[in-house]
Amino acid sequence: MPEKLTDTDCGLSAEEVEQRTAKGLVNGDFNIPSKSIKQIFKDNCLTFFNFINVVLAAFVVAVGSFKNCLFLGVIICNTAIGIFQEIRSKRAVDRLSLISAPKAEVLRGGEKHTIAVKDVVMDEIMLLSAGKQVCSDCVVVCGECEVNESLITGESDPVIKKAGDEILSGSFVICGDVKAQVVRIGADNYANKITSGAKYIKKNNSEMLKSINYILKIISICIVPMILLMFGKEMLLAHNSFRDAVVNTVSAIIGMIPEGLVLMASMVLAVSVIRLATNKTLAQDLYCIETLARVDVLCLDKTGTITEGCMEVTDVISLDGENHDDALTALMTALSDHNPTYDAIKERYSGVSELKVIGTIPFSSAKKWSLAAFEGAGTYIMGAAEFILKDSLTDELKGRIEKASEGGYRVILIAHSDSLPDFENKELPAGVTPIALVRISDRIRKEAPDTLRFFAEQGVDIRIISGDNPVTVSGVAQRAGLENYDSYIDASTLATDEDIREAAGKYKIFGRVTPHQKLELVKALKSQCHTVAMTGDGVNDVLALKEADCSVAMQSGSDAARNVSNIVLLDSNFASMPKIVAEGRRSINNIERSGVLFLYKTVYSFLAALIFCFVPMGYPLQAIQLTQINIFTNGIPSFILALEPNFDIVRGRFIDNVLPKSIIHGLLITANFIGLILSRYICAWTGFIPFEIFDAGIETVATITTGFAAFVILFKVCFPLKGWKIGLLVFLTGGFTLDLIVLSSLLLDLQPLDIPMLIVMFILIGVSVFIGTVTKIFEKPMESALLRSQQRCRRLLDRISAAFMRKRQKL
């Protein structure tokens, strides 16, 4: 008992609550805060590439070429869209977090109050009743109840709590009503002590984010020396003025920056968060959706995931050949027990009996039985056979009970006696005869078989990890439709972490698993190069949830499990999992496709800038012209295509899926620049078009041919074509054409073309169509060859980096 008891009739006064709050003796908020508005603005605005764009714009402004700063408009729009979507996503998350925030019932000033768990103070009198979760460690000061501690220990058997007994945070009250005084708060709570191992910053495991950051790192390394090289060439080799050198350098460099790539990825994932929120799913970070879509091993907790957390009657086995439905209905009418067994039978036999009740003896954990006596019908008893029959339990009946319990069933004996019990001493009557066995099992969620089948069809390996008996868990898995339900092991036999690692690859079902073993199982699966997701609802799941690549918690579970998980199912519905996977697939597949549109621009801009560093002619495009091309061939379509339904299985790494396609498409535009250079010198050498005439119209030809080649690539990226995609292509092509006509002299500095220049332009367009067709035909073998080369280069870079790190460590 606590050293000083709080008045159980009045509870704490308002003044006492204020004093304890002022001293910090309050639970506090253990929820994960979402990103602040300030942080969202900072993360979207203060990026390396925004900095590069601002510096380039400053140079252009310094030389008076203001129109070539239009690319900043795209940057501003992209950043604004990113901020808007992320704030919208934050509000959706905050709204759901508020809805899912746990509450506690307490006694203050003699009145019952419902308050937030974070506001519970030391010595508070909490009112606990059936279905309530205990939010702070407390001691029962009045009343008696049964508590389910499965969220803490993993064991589902109820525990009796009387006055003076301690109830640990994270427990659920099954039946009974008690008043309990809070003895520990905040970090001192048992549940929070268990989860202290999860109080660390979890490194983002997004493969897509890693790939994007790797690409951006390479670009950032190349961009500064390229600026110096290009500017030096413009001044020394092309003999341009300082103004023209700045404009040409900025024009060459601006295309190398995939400014919309990260923004587009963040925006698409933010939209996914909002979509999931409408389906009662709370995604607590953007990239967890991607991770779940890449998962190949899914670890499930039995209770609350595959089962509903309650029991149901499977069948009734008569021992005397008679039908005993009336006897069970009479028992349920007379008794008023509150435990999982009674609730299951009560649901099955919910009718009203006409038998007149003489008296009842309710169930208790000590006796393991309950009974009711009826006028003219004798006494019916329900409970554990060994406690009811005791020494009269025959081997034959014991064998029947053991056989009936195979597959994880709980077997309840129904017995009858013509005599009346001793109500005063709560003793059984004489002449007890067994008449029936009631088989009870965990109720399988209706959606569980279809959901398990979905993951099996998608190649996701299922592991069931539970604190219950492995035979029971195996039986549940069998009824839920899991294929390898007979591949189980008792984790209490796994003595070392090495045993756990070996078992992780061998067995599908693990019973009697401790919290530490759950953690080691997840680590073992990850060490075997699996992407691991885990579902859980208990404090005992917290460490494993935090370790998993993607963690999913049920709203009906513990606060600790929800706080450390990436995703929370607010309706605690396992059937939501396929929807989340589908949303992740749509996002990743579309980001990969749209990512090609940003990265091929980087490829051709880098190659073209490199080529023009060694060619004695100015860069043939201005920043304003390149911006117009990018708006219609990259910017608008990438964001629209990224929202298309796409539920294909995610295969391979992001960088391996995107970079080969980007290189192939980038080479098409690069070929267009090479064609321009060759055309210039061939025309001059043959006398067809002199240098000065060609140079006067080269920006116009470059803008039109580069734009056309970019539309050829967009056409390829849009495959397979659908009606709305054709409409999109027509709209973008028309918009680009209209843009060239209306703004040709006003903004874009485009000159009218004479016949010879038109001929050159159409030849280059024809070459683009030819190259685009050839690359489409041979796209797969080209991608495979580039992928192999890319992987070899990456391995070489990794070895060089590792050797450098070893040398650095030695020094």
Residues acting as catalytic residues: 301
Q: In 3D, which of 372, 373, 366 has the Cα closest to residue 387?
A: 366
| Three-class HEC string of 624-642 | HHHHHHHHHHHHHHHHHHC
For 569-722, where are the alpha helices, taking DSSP H only?
576-612, 623-630, 636-641, 654-686, 691-717
Beta bridge partners of 357: 374
How far out from the chain centre does Cα 218 lie?
29
- Do residues 88 and 18 touch, judged by C-beta distance below 8 A? no
Helix (H) or strand (E) holding 322: none
Distance CA 630, CA 470 (A): 60
Helix (H, G, I), strand (E, B) or coil at 530: coil
Helix crossing, 623-630 with 723-743: angle to 10°? 160
Q: In 3D, which of 528, 533, 110, 458 has the Cα closest to residue 289?
A: 533
Q: Spell out a b/e string for 348-367, using b for 16 or more CB atoms within 10 Å of the CB, else e.
A: bbeeebebeebebbebeeeb
Backbone torsions φ then ψ of 542, nearest 5 degrees? -60, -50
User: Which residues have CB under 8 Å from 528's CB, separation 6+?
Assistant: 504, 505
- Do residues 160 and 508 touch, judged by C-beta distance below 8 A? no
Half-sphere exposure of 408 (CA within 13 A, CB side): 24
Distance CA 554, CA 567 (A): 9
Distance CA 348, CA 335 (A): 14
Q: In 3D, which of 351, 326, 312, 315 has the Cα closest to residue 416?
A: 326
Q: Which two tokens stand for residue 610?
A: 């490199």
Rounded to whole angstroms, the maximal C-alpha distance in the chain is 123
Beta strands 488-490; 461-465: pairing state: unpaired
Distance CA 140, CA 299 (A): 36
User: Which residues have CB under 8 Å from 587's CB, separation 6+?
Assistant: 268, 269, 272, 289, 290, 293, 642
